[in-house]
Structures are given as C-alpha cells and as structure tokens.
Structure 1
Amino acid sequence: MNSPYSVENFQRPVIDAPNGAEQILLHSCCAPCACEIMSAIKASGIEQTVFFYNPNIHPLEEYELRKKENKRYCEKNDIKFIDADYDTENWFERVKGFEDEPERGERCTLCFSMRFERTALYAFEHGFNLISSTLGISRWKNLEQINRCGVEAASRYSEITYWTFNWRKQGGASRMIEISKDESFYQQEYCGCVYSLRDTNRWRMSQGRPRIKRLIKFYGES
C-alpha cells in the first residue's frame, strides 16, 4: 500500500509566503533536504532560486556530488540554481577553536551563520526580499538554532526577511524521504563537515560498525 505522502498520492497544501512575497532565495544544503521544500514552494506559485553555498562539506568529492544531485533536481523542475564559491578555507577559519564541539553545538551555529550571511548578502545584491534554508527539514538538526541564525543574518538588511516556516510539518519530512527514494538521490551518512565525519565514524566504530564509505549509497538501496 502506498504511503499517503507518496509521489502518486500526496495532496500538497498551498502555503503563503511572508508579506505576500512572490519570490524567494532558498539556501540549499543538498538534494534530499531540498526536494520537498522546492516542490512545496513551486506548488504554491512562489518563484524560487536555489542558492548552493556550503563550504562546510568535505571532502571536495563529497561536496561536488551533493551539488550535482541538487543541480540535477533543479534542472528537472526548471528552477534556477546558483553555484556559490567553495571557500572552504574561510569556513575552517570561522570554526577554528570549535573543532570538538558536539553536533548542534556552537560549531554548527557558526557554520549556519556563515552560510546564511552569504545567502542574505546575495539576496540583498540581487533584489530578493525573502530567504530561507532547506537545513530545517532534517530531524537531525535543531530547527530553533537554524531559524535563529537565519533571522540574525537577514536582520542585517531591513528589506530582507528570513522565512522560519517549519517544513517538517504537513507531511514534509515524510514527503522528503519519498521523493528522495523516487529520485534515487545520493544518501549522505554524515552532516557534511570533516568533524561530523570524524565523530560519526568514532561512534560507528564504538558500536562495532564499519566506518562510512563515501559515494556508494543511494536512496532505495539496501
């Protein structure tokens, strides 16, 4: 029996953007997190541009694969995709001294802030009044932490709003999984940064599980 959130069955509710905005600059971290949000925005008649700025993702091969998957889904849905610089050295400098912070800790706050500040700057320079991020749909992330960073980044510009919509609700999180399976997206097994990979592998080894092998697992594969 198909899930009520399946590609075939899902009846998507229409959502309204803040202040009646008709377009949005959407920061995206990866295709699995972005797919449902992109689909929801498109179904609601809001024009969107996807902004891929993720200097935290390591190594470079991992970054390129996540970007490729995201770009592929944008092209399939005729959505503009902005490929921002991979200024990884600036990211390492930004989080210096916080290498041993736990997931959802201060290192993540610094990482979110850096990515959203760049998103807000691009929005300001290119006439967007509304921004948001795909990061909040993941159950592994702290939505309050993400929204706080987004609102703070947008507050630098009086005309820009960060949309704090909870994309997990109304079946969003389940729909994300359904689309990812249908598209056979690459299924990343760690947040993206080298410290997340380190800590994930430490935990896996403590549980007698093998270290993460990159670039081989896709949604729908056992």
Structure 2
Amino acid sequence: MENKPFVREKINLPNEGKKLLLHSCCAPCSGEVMEALISSDIDFTIYFYNPNIHPRSEYDLRKEENIRFAEKHNIPFIDADYDVDHWFELAKGMEHEPEKGIRCTMCFDMRFEKTAEYAAANGFDVISSSLGISRWKNMDQINDCGIRAASRHENMDYWTFNWRKKGGGVRMLEISKRERFYMQEYCGCAYSLRDTNKWRMETGREKIKLGEKYYGDEE
C-alpha cells in the first residue's frame, strides 16, 4: 500500500497572537519548526542568541547553517550578540552540574530573557524556541524558562507548542538530511563538550571532531 503524502496541520499562535519571535538554537532543530510555521502562514522572525556555544568556530558554523536555511525561505534573521563572557560569568559555580540541571536552566533563562526583551522592543507579542523539539531536552524545563521570560513583559506569551508531536521529531531528521545540515554532537557549551568527550572516551569512542560531521553523510 502506498504511503499517503504528508499534510501539515494548520497551527495558530496562542491568544490570537500576531507576530512570533522564534529563538533558534541551530538549523537542525529549527528546520521542522520553520517549515510548520511557513505552511501555517505565521508571521515570524528568527532570533539567534546562543552565547553558550563553544568554541567560537562551532558557534559560527551553527549560526551560518541557520542563516542559510532562513535565507532559503526568505525568513528575517536577527543575529544577536555572542555574549560569551557574560555566559561564563553566570555559569560560575555550575561547571560540574549535569545536563538538564540548574546550569541549563540558567542558560535557557539568559537566552529567553534576551529574546523577550528584543520582542517587546520590536512589536512581537509571542516568543517561542526550537529547543523543545530535541529529544535530548527537558520540554518542561524549557517551557518554564520561556514562560518566566515572557511574563516580565506586558501582553506577551511564550508559546509552549509541542514541536515533537505528530512526527515532528522524525521530520526534523528528514529535513536535516535533505538540507545536509551540520550535525552537532553535543549541546553546545564548553562543559557539555567536556562531558560528552569524557563519556565517549570511557566507552571506547573517539572524541568529537568539530566541524566535520553532516546529516546524510552516513548514507
């Protein structure tokens, strides 16, 4: 039996929102989110603010991949500051916290607060993030940080839409392979890179080779 063609379900911004500022962490995570928004005729702009990403070469590569996909679809892209020194200041004392712990909460808070500030100053009434589509992330943790950031501004919502549902996670991988996105093998920060490499060495695997692996290369 032939597979039926995929038909996207139309989605709407919460509370009759008009304009969305989408915080994007990377192209692989945002690809499916962006295509879903485009197919629903939602007015949105990408906001790239990720000072956690380390080293700078990795940050630049992830950003350029995101810009490439946004330009392909004529989506406005806001390139925010690489405020890495401030990120490390906020992370002091949390260098050995586990993934999904308080360091990650700090990181989400920092990024979403900046997103909400930009949104409030530039006519956006809804913010959201592509971070939640990743199965490696705690969606409740992300949503709590987003809601907290949005609550500081009048008439602003954080959209808690579950981008993983109805095959979103699968399509994320399909789009990543189709576009041959760069495949990042750790969350992004220096401590994630350290801990991921430690785990890889303990399990007999090589350390991550930055800037080398792309979706679709294994096929």
User: Which TM-score applies when normalising by structure 1?
Assistant: 0.96
Residue deviations 1:89-113 (CA, integer Å, cap 9, x gap): 0000111110000000000000000
Question: Runs ≥4 in structure 1, deviation > 3 angstroms?
Answer: 1-4
Give the % identical residues.
61
Gaps of 5+ in 2: none
Count residues with an aligned counterpart.
218
Where does residue 41 of structure 1 map in the other structure? 37
TM-fit CA distance, 1:2: 9.4
Residue in 2 that maps onto 1:181: 177
Aligned equivalents of 2:167, 2:2: Cα separation in 1: 14
Aligned twin of 2:146: 150
Distance in 1 (CA, whole Å) between partners of 2:146 and 2:3 is: 32
1:45 to 1:77, Cα distance in 2 relative to 1, 3 A: same
Corresponding residue for residue 215 of structure 2? 219
Counterpart Cα distance in 1 of 2:206 and 2:168: 31
The structure-2 alpha-carbon separation of the partners of 1:2 and 1:30, relative to structure 1 and needing over 3 Å to count, comes to farther
**Corresponding position of 1:109:** 105
How much does 1:158 deviate?
1.8
Q: TM-score scaled by structure 2? A: 0.97
Partner-residue secondary structure (3-state), 1:196: helix
Partner of 2:95: 99
The Cα shift of 1:20 comes to 1.5
CA RMSD, 1 decimal: 1.3
| 1:53 counterpart (49, 56, 80) | 49
The unaligned stretches of length 5 or more in structure 1 are: none
Q: CA deviation at 1:16?
A: 1.3
Residue of structure 2 equivalent to 1:170: 166
Distance 1:221 1:74 in 2: 22
Aligned to 1:133: 129
Q: Distance in 1 between matches of 2:27 and 2:125?
A: 24
Distance 1:208 1:145, change over 3 A: same
Match of 1:160 among 156, 161, 165: 156
Distance 2:72 2:23 in 1: 18
Equivalent of 1:71 in 60, 63, 67: 67
Q: Which amino acid aligns with 2:148?
A: E
Residue equivalent to 1:16? 12
Q: After superposition, what is the alpha-carbon deviation per residue over 1:138-193, rounded to whole angstroms, capped at 9, x for unaligned?
A: 00000000000000000001211000010000111011000000000000000000
CA distance in 1, matches of 2:58, 2:64: 10
Question: Secondary structure at 2:165's aligned position in 1?
Answer: coil
